[in-house]
Structure 1
C-alpha cells in the first residue's frame, strides 16, 4: 500500500494538472486512455495512463462502455468470452434497446447494404448472416468522446504539453464496412499518410497492435497534430488537432489539396468539429460540420456461444 501511494504521489507531482480539460483543474485521478475495458484481459498499453480531474475521468464512463462494446465486435468473432457477455449485459441495462436499433432485420435492406459494400454471403448463408449493423447516435457519441480524449492524450505523450482548452479537434471516424468502399479507403489512406510516426504499442513485451494501433504526425512549432488510430478490425479514426483557434481550417485545406491530388476528385471534407468540452461531465455533444452525412453501417458479428447466440434486445 505504501509503495502504491508513493508511486501515485510521484505521478501527480510530475503531472499535476488534468490533461483533458486544458489544465483547468488539478489532477486527482489516473485515467487509462484508451480505457482498459477496450483490451483483452484489460491489458492496456504501457505509458497510456494520464492525469485527470474527477469530472473528466468520470464524465466519459458511459461513452467508455459503448466504446468497449464496439471493441468486442469483430466480423470474424469466435466464442464469446464471459467479459464480452458482461459488457453486453451492462450495455443493455444502461442503453436498453441499443442493440436492437443496431440490427438490420429486413432481408431486403440487408441485401441492398451488402451490394452497396460489394460483399456477398458465403454458401448456405443469407444476407442477414453477414453481420451488417447500423451505426447509432450512441455509438457516434461514444467514438467522438474516445477520439477527443485520445487525441489530447497522444498530444501530451509526444509533446509533453497539455492540449489547450481553446484548441480545436476535427474528427473523421469510420467502421470496417466503410473501408470496403474503395473511394472511402483511398480518402482515409491519403489523410493518414501524413501521419508517418508509428510508435510501438506493447505491454510486458507483448505487441498490442492487433487491438490498438496508431500513427501520428506533429508540428511542434505550429502546435498541430494529425492522428490515425485503428481498433482491431472494428473501427478507427483520423483526427486533426490545432492549439491555436482557426488554424485547423488551413490544415484542412492542405489535406483537401492532397486528397484532390491522390483521388482526382473534388473533395468533400469527411471531418466534423468536436466541441471543446466533449467528454467532460458527460453532457457535451459533438458538433457536426455542415456537410451532410450518409447513414453509416459496419460489418460486425456479435460473439456467439452455445447458450448466447444474440445479445439481449
Structure 2
C-alpha cells in the first residue's frame, strides 16, 4: 500500500509537462515559473494561471529584468494608494540596485520631447516623459518579452518552441499608444484581451493579453500583452526562422 500523499501543485504541473518550456524542450523542469511574475502585480498579489514548467536556470534568468519591467509598468497611471506608492518606491530602489545606472538612463529632456512630438503631445494624458530606449531598459524588455512569448505560445498551442525557434518582439510605450498610428492599429487588432482571474479577484487593470495562432501545426503564434496603461509588448513566435513573415520586424531572439 502506498504512503504517498497528494501531489503538490508543482508536481502536478510537472507530471503534465516534465520539460522546461523556455529552453527548447530539452531540459527537465524542476520549478514553476509564473509569467508574468508576482513582482509585476500590486502587493505581489496575483491570481493563479499562466504557470509553466521551468528549469532553475530559466526561472532565474530574468530576475533582474523583471525588476525593471515591474517599475516601467507602474509609471502610468500614477500609484493611487499609499500601498501602491510604497511598492513603487521599493521597486525603484530594487531596480536600480539590480541594474546600476537605470535611473540616470531614464532621465530625459522634457522640453525636447515636447518639441519632437509637436501637436501630437496634445493627445497625451501627461507630459512627464522618461527615456526607456537605453541599453538597460532595452535589454530587460528583450529578455522578459522573449520569455513571456515562449510562455504564451505554450499556453495557446501546448507546444514548446524548439531550439532554433524565433521570437520577434516589439515594444510600445504609452506615448506610442496615443500618438503612433501603427501602434494604435496593431494594439486594436488584438482586441480587449483577457487577464488572470480567481473568482472576483482579477487584474485587468494591471495586465491583459491576447493570443492568436495557426491551428494546422501550432508552430506559429502572435501575442499582445499590456501592462497597466504604461507599456505593451507585441510578440510573434515561430518554430522555424524561415517561417517568420516578411512583413514582421522587430527584435529577434533565437531560442
Q: Which band: TM-score by shorter chain?
A: 0.7 to 0.9
Contact 2:223–2:235 at 8 Å: present in 1 too?
Answer: yes
- Which residue number in structure 2 is paired with residue 191 of structure 1? 186
Match runs of 1:93-112 below 5 Å: 93-104=97-108, 109-112=109-112
Q: Bigger shift: 23-32 or 92-101?
A: 92-101
Cα deviation, residue 89, structure 1: 1.8
SS at match of 1:112: helix
Matched, 1:90 2:85: no
Tell me which of 204, 207, 214 is aligned to 1:219: 214
- Which residue number in structure 2 is paired with residue 275 of structure 1? 254
Structure 1's 233 and 63: CA in aligned 2 closer, same or farther, altered over 3 A? same
SS at match of 1:119: helix
* TM-score, normalisation: structure 1: 0.71
Cα deviation, residue 46, structure 1: 2.5
Structure 1's 193 and 90: CA in aligned 2 closer, same or farther, altered over 3 A? closer
Residues in 2 aligned to 1:28 and 1:148: alpha-carbon distance in whole angstroms: 20
Residues in 1 aligned to 2:91 and 2:6: alpha-carbon distance in whole angstroms: 29
- Which residue number in structure 2 is paired with residue 66 of structure 1? 68
SS at match of 2:130: strand
Structure 1's 197 and 132: CA in aligned 2 closer, same or farther, altered over 3 A? closer
Structure 1's 192 and 69: CA in aligned 2 closer, same or farther, altered over 3 A? closer
Match runs of 1:77-226 below 5 Å: 77-78=79-80, 81-104=85-108, 109-117=109-117, 118-119=120-121, 130-135=127-132, 136-181=134-179, 184=180, 186-192=181-187, 194-195=189-190, 198-222=193-217, 223-226=219-222
Higher radius of gyration, 1 or 2: 1
Contact 2:27–2:55 at 8 Å: present in 1 too?
Answer: yes
Residues in 2 aligned to 1:61 and 1:4: alpha-carbon distance in whole angstroms: 31
SS at match of 1:130: coil
- Which residue number in structure 1 is paired with residue 228 of structure 2? 232
Residues in 2 aligned to 1:41 and 1:275: alpha-carbon distance in whole angstroms: 34
Cα deviation, residue 205, structure 1: 2.7
Cα deviation, residue 72, structure 1: 2.4
Contact 1:197–1:217 at 8 Å: present in 2 too?
Answer: no
Structure 1's 200 and 116: CA in aligned 2 closer, same or farther, altered over 3 A? same
Provide the aligned C-alpha RMSD in A. Answer: 2.5
- Which residue number in structure 1 is paired with residue 23 of structure 2? 21
Contact 1:70–1:234 at 8 Å: present in 2 too?
Answer: yes
Of structures 1 and 2, the one scoring higher in RCO (CA 8 A, sep 6+) is 1
Contact 1:194–1:226 at 8 Å: present in 2 too?
Answer: no
Cα deviation, residue 75, structure 1: 4.5
* TM-score, normalisation: structure 2: 0.85
What runs of 5+ residues in structure 1 fail to find an aligned partner?
121-128, 256-268, 277-313
Q: Alignment length, in residue pairs?
A: 244
Cα deviation, residue 95, structure 1: 2.4
